[in-house]
A and B are shown apart, each in its own frame.
Chain A
Amino acid sequence: MISIALILLSSVFFVGIVNRTKSVSSGRIGPGFTQHLKDISRLLKKGSVTSTSSSFIFQLAPSISFVTVIVACLFLPFGDQPSILSFQYDVVVFAYLLALGRFSMVIMAMDTASPFEGMGANREALYGMLVEPAFFILAGSFAVLTGHTSLNEIFRDMHLGSGVSYLMAAFAVYVFLQIAMVENSRLPVDDPKTHLELTMVHEVIILDNSGFDLGMILATISLRFAMFGVLIANFALPPMVPLWGKILIAIDVMALFAVVVGLLESFRARNRMKRNPQFIFTLTSIAILVFFTVLILTNKLVL
Chain B
Amino acid sequence: MTITFILATVISAAMAALTVAWSVPVLMSGQAATFAYGPAIFSIDPLTAFMVVLINIGVLLGMVYGISYLKPYASKSFMEALVHALAMVALHGSMLAVTMVRDMVSLLIMWEIMSMSSFLLVLFEGEKTRTRRVALSYFIQMHVGAFFLLLATMILAGKTGSYTFDAMGEFYAHSPSWTLFLPLFLGFGMKAGFLPLHTWLPHAHPAAPSHVSGIMSGVMIKLGIYGILRTILYLSGDQSMLGVAILTVGIVTGLYAILQAIVRNDLKRLLAYSSVENIGLLGISIGMAVLGTSIHNDVIATLGWTAVLLHMVHHMLFKVVLFQSVGNIYAATRTRNLNELGGLVKRMPNTVTVFILGALAICGLPPMNGFVSEFLMYAASIEGMKNSGAYFSIVNFFVLITLCLIGGLAIIAFTKAIGVGMLGEPRTEHARNAVERPWFMRLPQQVAIGMMIVMAVLPQFMVAAMSAVIRTFVPQCDAVLVSLTPTLTSLGIFNASLVGAVGLVLLLRKIATRSAQRRMGPTWGCGFTAADARLQYTSTTFADSTVQLISPVVRVHVQMHALRQADVFPHARAYHTDVVDVIEESMIEPPIAGIAFVLRRLAVFHTGSMRTYILYAFVFIIAIAVVTIMGVI
Contacts and interface: CB of A to CB of B under 8 A. Distances in A.
B490 interface: yes
A162 interface: no
B37 interface: no
B414 to A, nearest CB: 8
A136 interface: yes
B513 A57 contact: no
Contacts of A126: 412, 545-546, 549
B501 A50 contact: no
A96 B546 CA distance: 21
Contact of B401 (A55, A118, A136, A277): A136
A163 B401 CA distance: 28
B527 A115 contact: yes
B516 A47 contact: yes
A110 B487 contact: no
Contacts of B408: 99, 125, 128-130, 132
Contacts of B409: 129
Contact of A89 (B382, B505, B544): B382
A215 to B, nearest CB: 9
A110 B424 contact: yes
A105 B397 CA distance: 30
A116 B526 contact: yes
Nearest to A197: B527
B519 A118 contact: no
Given A137-B400, A216-B509, A49 B521 contact: yes
Given A87-B487, A116-B526, A133-B404, A96 B366 contact: yes
Interface in B501-540: 501-502, 505-506, 509, 512-513, 516-524, 526-528, 533, 535-537
A17 interface: no
Interface string B344-376: 011001000000100010011110000100110
A144 B408 CA distance: 23
Nearest to B371: A96
A140 B390 contact: no
Given A132-B407, A143-B385, A291-B397, A207 B524 contact: yes
- Chief secondary structure at chain A's binding surface: helix
B502 A92 contact: no
Interface string B399-430: 01101110111011001001110011100000
A140 B382 contact: yes
A258 B206 CA distance: 52
Contacts of B517: 47-48
Contacts of A132: 404-405, 407-408
B501 A103 contact: no
A97 interface: yes
A238 interface: no
A93 B512 contact: no
B505 to A, nearest CB: 4
Contact of A143 (B375, B386, B491): B386
Contacts of B501: 67, 70-71
B419 A47 contact: no
Contact of B516 (A85, A100, A211): A211
A111 interface: yes
A50 B520 contact: yes
B494 interface: yes
B379 interface: yes
Contacts of B520: 49-52
Q: Select the residue from A64, A125, A212, A300 with max chain B CB neighbours within 10 A.
A: A125
A85 to B, nearest CB: 7
B467 to A, nearest CB: 18
Given A93-B366, A115-B535, A136-B400, A55 B345 contact: yes
Nearest to B533: A113
Q: Select the residue from B397, B404, B520 with max chain A CB neighbours within 10 A.
A: B404
B288 to A, nearest CB: 14
A121 B486 contact: no
Interface string A15-27: 0000000000000
B89 to A, nearest CB: 40
B411 A99 contact: yes
A88 B343 CA distance: 41
B389 interface: yes
B534 to A, nearest CB: 10
Q: Select the residue from B364, B400, B517 with max chain A CB neighbours within 10 A.
A: B400
B411 A113 contact: no
A102 interface: yes
Interface string A278-303: 00000000000001000100001110
A184 interface: no
B526 A129 contact: no
A198 B508 CA distance: 35
Contact of B415 (A56, A110, A116, A300): A110
Contacts of B356: 57, 107
A107 B415 contact: yes
A129 B513 contact: no
A9 interface: no
A71 B423 CA distance: 27
A102 B542 CA distance: 16
Contacts of A164: none
B397 A89 contact: no
B393 A64 contact: no
B521 A110 contact: no
Interface in A194-215: 197, 207-208, 211-213
Given A67-B505, A115-B536, 11 more contacts: A48-B513, A48-B518, A49-B519, A54-B423, A60-B502, A114-B523, A118-B420, A118-B537, A126-B412, A139-B382, A197-B526
Interface of A: 44-57, 60, 63-64, 66-68, 70-71, 85, 87-89, 91-93, 95-97, 99-100, 102-103, 106-107, 109-119, 121-123, 125-126, 128-130, 132-133, 135-137, 139-140, 143-144, 147, 149, 197, 207-208, 211-213, 216, 274, 277, 291, 295, 300-302
Interface of B: 342-343, 345-346, 349, 356, 360, 363-366, 371, 374-375, 378-379, 381-383, 385-386, 389-390, 393-394, 396-397, 400-401, 403-405, 407-409, 411-412, 415, 418-420, 423-425, 484, 486-487, 490-491, 494, 498, 501-502, 505-506, 509, 512-513, 516-524, 526-528, 533, 535-537, 541-542, 544-546, 548-549
6 contacts: A87-B494, A122-B544, A125-B412, A126-B545, A135-B404, A274-B548
Q: Lowest 6 CB-CB distances: which A-B pairs, in order?
A: A118-B537, A110-B419, A129-B408, A47-B517, A113-B424, A116-B527
